[in-house]
Protein backbone atom coordinates (compact mmCIF):
# COMPACT_ATOMS: atom_id res chain seq x y z
CA UNK A 1 0.00 0.00 0.00
CA UNK A 2 1.29 3.42 -0.95
CA UNK A 3 2.49 5.33 2.11
CA UNK A 4 1.53 8.95 2.64
CA UNK A 5 4.26 11.49 3.17
CA UNK A 6 4.53 11.96 6.90
CA UNK A 7 5.57 15.28 8.39
CA UNK A 8 4.81 15.93 12.06
CA UNK A 9 4.46 19.34 13.59
CA UNK A 10 4.13 19.73 17.34
CA UNK A 11 3.55 22.45 19.89
CA UNK A 12 6.66 22.67 22.04
CA UNK A 13 4.86 21.74 25.25
CA UNK A 14 3.29 18.62 23.78
CA UNK A 15 5.28 16.01 25.66
CA UNK A 16 5.31 17.66 29.07
CA UNK A 17 4.07 14.96 31.45
CA UNK A 18 3.47 12.52 28.60
CA UNK A 19 4.73 9.01 29.42
CA UNK A 20 4.91 7.65 25.86
CA UNK A 21 8.05 8.00 23.72
CA UNK A 22 8.23 9.88 20.44
CA UNK A 23 8.70 6.56 18.63
CA UNK A 24 5.47 5.19 20.13
CA UNK A 25 3.56 8.34 19.22
CA UNK A 26 4.87 8.38 15.66
CA UNK A 27 3.99 4.70 15.19
CA UNK A 28 0.40 5.24 16.35
CA UNK A 29 0.02 8.26 14.08
CA UNK A 30 1.36 6.37 11.06
CA UNK A 31 -1.00 3.44 11.71
CA UNK A 32 -3.93 5.83 11.98
CA UNK A 33 -2.91 7.45 8.67
CA UNK A 34 -2.82 4.02 7.03
CA UNK A 35 -6.31 3.31 8.39
CA UNK A 36 -7.56 6.56 6.89
CA UNK A 37 -6.12 5.52 3.55
CA UNK A 38 -7.64 2.04 3.70
CA UNK A 39 -11.01 2.69 5.35
CA UNK A 40 -11.94 6.16 4.11
CA UNK A 41 -10.58 5.92 0.58
CA UNK A 42 -8.15 8.83 0.84
CA UNK A 43 -5.91 7.24 -1.79
CA UNK A 44 -3.48 9.76 -3.24
CA UNK A 45 -4.56 12.59 -0.98
CA UNK A 46 -1.80 14.86 0.35
CA UNK A 47 -1.93 13.57 3.91
CA UNK A 48 0.41 14.97 6.53
CA UNK A 49 0.27 14.64 10.29
CA UNK A 50 0.37 17.75 12.45
CA UNK A 51 0.33 17.67 16.24
CA UNK A 52 -0.77 20.34 18.69
CA UNK A 53 -1.38 20.32 22.40
CA UNK A 54 -0.53 23.38 24.49
CA UNK A 55 0.07 20.96 27.40
CA UNK A 56 -3.58 19.98 26.98
CA UNK A 57 -5.07 17.24 29.19
CA UNK A 58 -8.28 16.24 27.40
CA UNK A 59 -9.42 13.53 29.83
CA UNK A 60 -8.20 15.14 33.08
CA UNK A 61 -5.89 12.31 34.10
CA UNK A 62 -2.84 14.51 34.75
CA UNK A 63 -1.03 13.61 31.52
CA UNK A 64 -0.92 15.74 28.37
CA UNK A 65 -2.75 14.15 25.46
CA UNK A 66 -1.75 14.17 21.79
CA UNK A 67 -3.89 16.21 19.37
CA UNK A 68 -3.30 15.36 15.71
CA UNK A 69 -4.68 16.86 12.49
CA UNK A 70 -4.58 14.83 9.26
CA UNK A 71 -5.04 17.47 6.53
CA UNK A 72 -6.59 16.53 3.18
CA UNK A 73 -8.03 18.74 0.43
CA UNK A 74 -11.17 20.34 1.81
CA UNK A 75 -11.38 19.02 5.37
CA UNK A 76 -9.28 17.25 7.94
CA UNK A 77 -9.77 14.50 10.52
CA UNK A 78 -8.74 15.65 14.00
CA UNK A 79 -7.91 13.02 16.61
CA UNK A 80 -6.98 13.18 20.30
CA UNK A 81 -4.86 10.25 21.54
CA UNK A 82 -4.52 9.41 25.25
CA UNK A 83 -1.10 10.56 26.50
CA UNK A 84 -0.71 7.41 28.63
CA UNK A 85 -2.11 4.65 26.41
CA UNK A 86 -2.25 6.33 22.96
CA UNK A 87 -5.82 5.07 22.57
CA UNK A 88 -8.23 7.34 20.68
CA UNK A 89 -10.13 9.60 23.09
CA UNK A 90 -11.89 11.78 20.51
CA UNK A 91 -12.10 12.02 16.73
CA UNK A 92 -13.98 14.24 14.31
CA UNK A 93 -13.70 15.73 10.83
CA UNK A 94 -13.28 19.50 10.58
CA UNK A 95 -15.18 20.69 7.51
CA UNK A 96 -12.66 23.27 6.27
CA UNK A 97 -9.13 23.20 4.85
CA UNK A 98 -6.25 22.89 7.30
CA UNK A 99 -4.76 26.39 7.07
CA UNK A 100 -3.64 27.30 10.62
CA UNK A 101 -2.49 30.78 9.64
CA UNK A 102 -6.00 31.63 8.39
CA UNK A 103 -8.14 29.53 10.75
CA UNK A 104 -9.05 30.13 14.39
CA UNK A 105 -8.62 26.83 16.27
CA UNK A 106 -9.34 27.05 19.98
CA UNK A 107 -9.82 24.89 23.06
CA UNK A 108 -12.62 25.91 25.47
CA UNK A 109 -13.33 24.34 28.88
CA UNK A 110 -16.27 24.44 31.29
CA UNK A 111 -16.16 24.17 35.10
CA UNK A 112 -16.07 20.37 34.90
CA UNK A 113 -13.02 20.64 32.59
CA UNK A 114 -15.08 19.24 29.72
CA UNK A 115 -13.77 20.27 26.31
CA UNK A 116 -15.29 22.22 23.45
CA UNK A 117 -13.27 22.73 20.24
CA UNK A 118 -13.88 25.78 18.07
CA UNK A 119 -12.83 26.14 14.41
CA UNK A 120 -13.60 29.37 12.56
CA UNK A 121 -12.55 30.80 9.21
CA UNK A 122 -13.69 33.83 7.20
CA UNK A 123 -12.30 33.91 3.68
CA UNK A 124 -12.75 35.66 0.37
CA UNK A 125 -13.01 33.53 -2.79
CA UNK A 126 -12.24 36.38 -5.14
CA UNK A 127 -10.85 39.89 -4.88
CA UNK A 128 -13.65 42.43 -4.28
CA UNK A 129 -16.11 39.56 -3.81
CA UNK A 130 -18.11 38.53 -0.72
CA UNK A 131 -16.59 36.69 2.24
CA UNK A 132 -17.74 33.33 3.57
CA UNK A 133 -17.57 32.60 7.30
CA UNK A 134 -17.64 29.03 8.58
CA UNK A 135 -17.75 28.08 12.27
CA UNK A 136 -17.60 24.51 13.57
CA UNK A 137 -18.12 23.70 17.25
CA UNK A 138 -17.36 20.25 18.68
CA UNK A 139 -17.98 18.75 22.09
CA UNK A 140 -18.46 15.16 23.14
CA UNK A 141 -21.35 13.74 21.13
CA UNK A 142 -22.36 17.07 19.59
CA UNK A 143 -21.38 19.05 16.51
CA UNK A 144 -22.74 22.26 15.04
CA UNK A 145 -21.66 24.00 11.81
CA UNK A 146 -22.64 27.59 11.04
CA UNK A 147 -22.03 29.38 7.75
CA UNK A 148 -22.75 32.96 6.67
CA UNK A 149 -21.81 35.39 3.91
CA UNK A 150 -20.43 38.90 4.52
CA UNK A 151 -19.68 41.77 2.16
CA UNK A 152 -16.15 42.92 1.42
CA UNK A 153 -16.73 45.50 4.20
CA UNK A 154 -17.75 42.74 6.64
CA UNK A 155 -21.45 43.59 6.52
CA UNK A 156 -23.77 40.62 7.07
CA UNK A 157 -25.55 39.47 3.89
CA UNK A 158 -27.16 36.15 4.78
CA UNK A 159 -26.67 32.94 6.76
CA UNK A 160 -27.31 29.38 5.69
CA UNK A 161 -29.89 27.28 7.53
CA UNK A 162 -32.67 29.24 9.24
CA UNK A 163 -31.03 32.42 10.51
CA UNK A 164 -32.60 35.47 8.89
CA UNK A 165 -30.51 38.09 10.69
CA UNK A 166 -26.95 38.36 11.94
CA UNK A 167 -28.24 38.55 15.53
CA UNK A 168 -30.00 35.18 15.12
CA UNK A 169 -26.89 33.69 13.52
CA UNK A 170 -24.53 34.94 16.25
CA UNK A 171 -26.94 33.96 19.02
CA UNK A 172 -27.09 30.41 17.69
CA UNK A 173 -23.39 29.70 17.98
CA UNK A 174 -22.84 31.75 21.15
CA UNK A 175 -25.59 29.72 22.85
CA UNK A 176 -23.68 26.56 21.95
CA UNK A 177 -20.59 28.12 23.59
CA UNK A 178 -22.46 29.00 26.80
CA UNK A 179 -20.78 27.77 30.01
CA UNK A 180 -17.43 27.31 28.24
CA UNK A 181 -14.46 29.62 28.63
CA UNK A 182 -11.51 30.07 26.29
CA UNK A 183 -8.52 27.97 27.37
CA UNK A 184 -5.90 28.12 24.59
CA UNK A 185 -5.25 28.34 20.88
CA UNK A 186 -3.99 25.26 19.10
CA UNK A 187 -0.53 25.94 17.68
CA UNK A 188 1.49 23.96 15.14
CA UNK A 189 5.28 23.88 14.81
CA UNK A 190 7.86 21.62 13.17
CA UNK A 191 9.05 18.58 15.10
CA UNK A 192 10.46 15.92 12.74
CA UNK A 193 10.17 14.26 9.35
CA UNK A 194 8.82 10.78 10.04
CA UNK A 195 9.73 8.99 6.83
CA UNK A 196 12.17 9.43 3.97
CA UNK A 197 9.44 10.74 1.69
CA UNK A 198 8.98 14.52 1.86
CA UNK A 199 6.32 15.26 -0.73
CA UNK A 200 3.83 17.66 0.80
CA UNK A 201 1.30 19.40 -1.41
CA UNK A 202 -2.19 19.54 -2.74
CA UNK A 203 -1.78 16.81 -5.31
CA UNK A 204 -0.07 13.50 -5.66
CA UNK A 205 3.48 13.10 -6.88
CA UNK A 206 3.82 11.41 -10.27
CA UNK A 207 6.15 8.57 -11.26
CA UNK A 208 8.23 8.99 -8.09
CA UNK A 209 9.93 12.08 -9.52
CA UNK A 210 12.07 13.74 -6.85
CA UNK A 211 14.58 16.11 -8.45
CA UNK A 212 16.92 18.73 -7.12
CA UNK A 213 15.20 22.12 -6.82
CA UNK A 214 17.36 23.70 -9.54
CA UNK A 215 16.80 20.95 -12.13
CA UNK A 216 13.12 21.54 -12.83
CA UNK A 217 13.47 22.02 -16.61
CA UNK A 218 14.88 18.57 -17.28
CA UNK A 219 12.53 16.99 -14.74
CA UNK A 220 9.57 18.54 -16.55
CA UNK A 221 10.86 17.20 -19.87
CA UNK A 222 11.20 13.68 -18.46
CA UNK A 223 7.77 13.96 -16.88
CA UNK A 224 6.16 15.00 -20.19
CA UNK A 225 7.67 12.09 -22.06
CA UNK A 226 6.58 9.43 -19.55
CA UNK A 227 3.51 10.51 -17.60
CA UNK A 228 0.15 8.70 -17.50
CA UNK A 229 -2.63 10.21 -15.38
CA UNK A 230 -6.27 9.16 -15.02
CA UNK A 231 -8.50 12.23 -15.20
CA UNK A 232 -12.25 11.63 -14.94
CA UNK A 233 -13.09 8.75 -17.27
CA UNK A 234 -10.00 9.17 -19.46
CA UNK A 235 -6.28 8.61 -19.27
CA UNK A 236 -4.05 11.50 -20.21
CA UNK A 237 -0.54 10.86 -21.47
CA UNK A 238 1.78 12.62 -23.91
CA UNK A 239 0.45 10.78 -26.96
CA UNK A 240 -3.22 11.71 -26.42
CA UNK A 241 -2.54 15.24 -25.17
CA UNK A 242 -4.15 17.39 -27.85
CA UNK A 243 -3.77 20.75 -26.12
CA UNK A 244 -1.09 22.25 -23.88
CA UNK A 245 -0.36 25.47 -22.02
CA UNK A 246 2.89 26.32 -20.24
CA UNK A 247 3.13 29.46 -18.12
CA UNK A 248 3.82 30.60 -14.55
CA UNK A 249 0.18 31.12 -13.62
CA UNK A 250 0.75 31.44 -9.85
CA UNK A 251 3.84 33.70 -9.89
CA UNK A 252 5.98 31.13 -8.10
CA UNK A 253 8.92 31.56 -10.48
CA UNK A 254 8.55 28.14 -12.15
CA UNK A 255 6.00 27.55 -14.94
CA UNK A 256 3.02 25.22 -14.64
CA UNK A 257 1.87 22.91 -17.45
CA UNK A 258 -1.77 22.28 -18.42
CA UNK A 259 -2.28 19.12 -20.51
CA UNK A 260 -5.72 18.59 -22.03
CA UNK A 261 -7.53 15.92 -24.04
CA UNK A 262 -10.35 18.19 -25.20
CA UNK A 263 -10.88 21.94 -25.62
CA UNK A 264 -13.58 22.05 -22.90
CA UNK A 265 -11.02 21.86 -20.12
CA UNK A 266 -10.55 18.17 -19.27
CA UNK A 267 -6.96 18.49 -18.17
CA UNK A 268 -4.29 17.93 -15.57
CA UNK A 269 -2.15 20.75 -14.23
CA UNK A 270 1.44 19.77 -13.46
CA UNK A 271 3.50 21.96 -11.14
CA UNK A 272 6.83 21.81 -9.35
CA UNK A 273 6.81 22.01 -5.55
CA UNK A 274 9.22 20.94 -2.82
CA UNK A 275 11.43 19.10 -5.31
CA UNK A 276 8.62 17.13 -6.95
CA UNK A 277 6.23 17.28 -9.88
CA UNK A 278 2.66 17.44 -8.55
CA UNK A 279 -0.46 16.85 -10.62
CA UNK A 280 -3.88 18.40 -10.03
CA UNK A 281 -6.63 16.52 -11.87
CA UNK A 282 -9.33 18.75 -13.40
CA UNK A 283 -11.83 16.51 -15.21
CA UNK A 284 -14.49 17.92 -17.56
CA UNK A 285 -17.06 15.47 -18.94
CA UNK A 286 -19.26 17.72 -21.10
CA UNK A 287 -19.07 20.83 -23.26
CA UNK A 288 -20.96 22.71 -20.54
CA UNK A 289 -18.10 22.15 -18.11
CA UNK A 290 -14.87 24.11 -17.97
CA UNK A 291 -11.53 24.71 -16.30
CA UNK A 292 -10.49 28.33 -15.78
CA UNK A 293 -7.95 30.28 -13.79
CA UNK A 294 -7.89 33.73 -12.23
CA UNK A 295 -4.54 35.42 -12.77
CA UNK A 296 -5.23 37.98 -10.02
CA UNK A 297 -6.14 35.57 -7.22
CA UNK A 298 -4.18 32.58 -8.61
CA UNK A 299 -7.27 30.39 -8.20
CA UNK A 300 -8.43 27.58 -10.49
CA UNK A 301 -12.14 26.96 -11.08
CA UNK A 302 -13.29 23.57 -12.38
CA UNK A 303 -16.80 22.48 -13.36
CA UNK A 304 -16.72 18.80 -14.26
CA UNK A 305 -20.33 18.32 -15.39
CA UNK A 306 -23.40 20.50 -15.83
CA UNK A 307 -26.72 18.80 -16.62
CA UNK A 308 -27.96 19.82 -20.05
CA UNK A 309 -30.57 17.20 -20.99
CA UNK A 310 -33.91 16.18 -19.51
CA UNK A 311 -32.33 13.10 -17.95
CA UNK A 312 -29.63 15.16 -16.22
CA UNK A 313 -31.78 18.11 -15.18
CA UNK A 314 -30.11 20.20 -12.49
CA UNK A 315 -27.11 17.89 -12.10
CA UNK A 316 -23.81 19.54 -11.24
CA UNK A 317 -20.67 17.57 -10.44
CA UNK A 318 -17.43 18.82 -8.95
CA UNK A 319 -17.91 22.58 -9.26
CA UNK A 320 -14.78 23.47 -7.32
CA UNK A 321 -12.32 26.23 -6.50
CA UNK A 322 -8.64 25.52 -5.87
CA UNK A 323 -6.43 28.03 -4.04
CA UNK A 324 -2.68 28.34 -4.45
CA UNK A 325 -1.10 27.87 -0.99
CA UNK A 326 2.39 27.14 0.37
CA UNK A 327 1.38 23.46 0.17
CA UNK A 328 0.33 23.70 -3.48
CA UNK A 329 -3.17 23.81 -4.92
CA UNK A 330 -5.83 23.02 -2.30
CA UNK A 331 -9.55 22.70 -2.93
CA UNK A 332 -11.27 25.46 -0.94
CA UNK A 333 -14.90 25.05 -2.07
CA UNK A 334 -16.91 22.43 -3.92
CA UNK A 335 -20.62 22.05 -4.68
CA UNK A 336 -22.55 19.21 -6.25
CA UNK A 337 -26.20 18.43 -7.00
CA UNK A 338 -27.87 15.20 -8.04
CA UNK A 339 -30.02 15.03 -11.17
CA UNK A 340 -33.67 15.90 -10.60
CA UNK A 341 -35.25 14.05 -13.52
CA UNK A 342 -37.92 11.66 -12.16
CA UNK A 343 -38.94 9.59 -15.20
CA UNK A 344 -41.95 8.49 -17.15
CA UNK A 345 -44.02 7.48 -14.12
CA UNK A 346 -44.07 11.14 -13.03
CA UNK A 347 -44.67 12.65 -16.47
CA UNK A 348 -41.00 13.51 -16.75
CA UNK A 349 -41.19 15.88 -13.81
CA UNK A 350 -38.05 17.92 -13.27
CA UNK A 351 -37.25 18.75 -9.68
CA UNK A 352 -33.82 19.46 -8.31
CA UNK A 353 -32.05 16.55 -6.61
CA UNK A 354 -30.12 16.66 -3.33
CA UNK A 355 -27.54 19.44 -3.19
CA UNK A 356 -24.20 19.39 -1.35
CA UNK A 357 -21.80 22.09 -0.18
CA UNK A 358 -18.34 20.76 0.71
CA UNK A 359 -19.90 17.25 0.85
CA UNK A 360 -22.55 18.35 3.39
CA UNK A 361 -26.24 18.11 2.32
CA UNK A 362 -27.81 21.59 2.04
CA UNK A 363 -31.08 23.06 0.79
CA UNK A 364 -31.36 24.00 -2.85
CA UNK A 365 -31.71 27.65 -1.78
CA UNK A 366 -28.35 27.53 0.00
CA UNK A 367 -26.86 25.68 -2.96
CA UNK A 368 -28.01 28.37 -5.41
CA UNK A 369 -26.48 31.12 -3.25
CA UNK A 370 -23.12 29.36 -3.24
CA UNK A 371 -23.41 28.56 -6.95
CA UNK A 372 -23.96 32.26 -7.67
CA UNK A 373 -20.71 33.04 -5.85
CA UNK A 374 -18.84 30.44 -7.91
CA UNK A 375 -20.46 31.65 -11.14
CA UNK A 376 -19.30 35.18 -10.35
CA UNK A 377 -15.79 33.90 -9.71
CA UNK A 378 -15.81 31.91 -12.95
CA UNK A 379 -16.98 34.95 -14.95
CA UNK A 380 -13.92 36.85 -13.74
CA UNK A 381 -11.60 33.95 -14.64
CA UNK A 382 -10.04 32.98 -17.95
CA UNK A 383 -9.78 29.85 -20.05
CA UNK A 384 -6.31 28.39 -20.36
CA UNK A 385 -5.04 29.73 -23.73
CA UNK A 386 -4.33 26.22 -24.95
CA UNK A 387 -1.99 25.48 -27.82
CA UNK A 388 -3.19 22.57 -29.99
CA UNK A 389 -1.06 19.99 -31.78
CA UNK A 390 -2.26 21.48 -35.06
CA UNK A 391 -0.80 24.83 -34.00
CA UNK A 392 2.66 23.25 -33.73
CA UNK A 393 2.45 20.90 -36.74
CA UNK A 394 1.68 17.90 -34.58
CA UNK A 395 4.81 18.13 -32.40
CA UNK A 396 4.91 19.88 -29.01
CA UNK A 397 8.69 19.48 -28.66
CA UNK A 398 9.64 22.95 -29.86
CA UNK A 399 6.91 24.62 -27.79
CA UNK A 400 8.04 22.74 -24.68
CA UNK A 401 11.68 23.64 -25.16
CA UNK A 402 10.86 27.28 -25.74
CA UNK A 403 8.59 27.64 -22.70
CA UNK A 404 10.85 25.68 -20.36
CA UNK A 405 14.02 27.40 -21.56
CA UNK A 406 15.68 24.14 -22.62
Residue 135: the pLDDT is 92
Strands 228-231, 360-362: pairing is unpaired
Residues of the chain with pLDDT under 50: 1-19, 42-47, 190-213
10 Å CB burial of residue 342 (0-12, 13-18, 19+) is middle
Residue 293: the pLDDT is 87
Residue 50: the pLDDT is 59
Residue 118: the pLDDT is 92
Please state the domain extents for the chain. 7-193, 204-404
Rounded to the nearest 5 degrees, what angle is found at the Cα of 295, between the Cα atoms of 369 and 227?
A: 100
Tens of pLDDT, residue by residue over 164-176, are: 788 988 998 888 8
What does the alpha-carbon distance between residue 383 and residue 290 come to, in Å, rounded to a whole number?
A: 8
Amino acid sequence: MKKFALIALVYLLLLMGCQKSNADIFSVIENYANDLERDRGLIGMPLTEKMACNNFDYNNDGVSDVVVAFPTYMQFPLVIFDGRTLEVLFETTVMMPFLPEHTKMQIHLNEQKEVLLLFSKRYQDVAMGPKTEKIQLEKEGEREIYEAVYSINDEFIHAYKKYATEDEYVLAYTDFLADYDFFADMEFKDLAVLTEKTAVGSSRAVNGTSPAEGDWQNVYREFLMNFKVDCGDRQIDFENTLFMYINDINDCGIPEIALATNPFGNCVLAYFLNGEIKVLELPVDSMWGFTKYNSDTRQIINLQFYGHTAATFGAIRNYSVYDWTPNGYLQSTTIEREAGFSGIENDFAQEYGQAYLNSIPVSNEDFELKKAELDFLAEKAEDFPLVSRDDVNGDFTGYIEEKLGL
